[in-house]
A = this chain, B = another copy of it.
C-alpha cells in the first residue's frame, strides 16, 4: 500500500475510534491510549499523527461536520421545491448516520469542548451558521420576512431534540423528532398534504 494511504488510513481509523470512544464513555475523558487501542495502533502513533489529544478531538469534529455537510448537499440535490429541500435538511439531521448515539454523544461533548477551545467554538459556529443559511435560503421564498425567525426556531429545535437524544429519551426517536420539526413547519408555512406522510405512524 502506498505510504500516503497508510497515513490517511491511520488518521481516519483514529478519528472513527475517537468518536466511538467518546460515544462509549459519553465523555471527553477518554485516554489517547484507549482510542489508539480501538484503532489498533499505539498511543504514540496517535500523538505522532495528530500532535495532541485536542487536535485529535478537533479532527473528529471536522469529520462529523464535513460528513454532515456532504450528506445535506446530497439529500437536497435534485429536489424541486424549497419546502422539500427544507425537509431534506431536517431529515439529514436525524439520519441514521448523524443520529447514531456515538455521534450525538460526540456532538454534545463538542459543545462542551467549545467552551474551552477557540477552534472547537469556531467549528461549531461554522456549523450553526451553515445550517442557518441553508434553511434561510430555502425558507425565504416561502416565508419571506418570517424566514429568519423560522430558521432560528428550526435550528434551536433540532439542537434541542439532539440533546434529548443524548439522554436516551426513548419516546423521541429519529422519526418522532423529524415529525415534530415537520409539524412545526407545516404549522407556520401551511400544510403540505401530499408529503406529510413522510413520518411513519
Interface residue? A95 (CB, 8 A):
no
* New A-B contacts (7) at CB < 8 Å, excluding given A105-B115, A153-B184: A27-B116, A125-B167, A149-B180, A152-B172, A155-B164, A160-B160, A160-B162
User: Which residues in chain A, 166-191, are within 8 Å of chain B measured between CB atoms?
Assistant: 166-167, 169, 172, 180, 183-184, 187-188
Cβ contact within 8 Å between B115 and A166 = yes
Cβ contact within 8 Å between B112 and A167 = no
Cβ contact within 8 Å between A153 and B180 = yes
Interface bin, chain A: 35 or more
Query: How far is it, in angstroms, between the C-alpha of A153 and the C-alpha of B186 when the chains are bound?
Result: 14
Chain B positions within 8 Å of A149 at CB level:
180, 183
Known: A180-B152, A188-B187. A115 touches B27 (CB 8 A): yes
3 interchain residue pairs of minimum CB distance: A26-B115, A160-B160, A156-B160
Cβ contact within 8 Å between A26 and B160 = no
Interface residue? A81 (CB, 8 A):
no
Please, which residue of chain B has its CB at the minimum distance from the CB of A177? B156
Interface pairs (24), CB distance under 8 Å: A25-B116, A26-B116, A27-B116, A28-B112, A108-B111, A109-B112, A111-B167, A114-B166, A114-B167, A128-B164, A152-B172, A152-B180, A153-B157, A153-B180, A155-B160, A155-B164, A156-B160, A156-B172, A156-B180, A157-B157, A158-B160, A159-B164, A184-B184, A187-B188
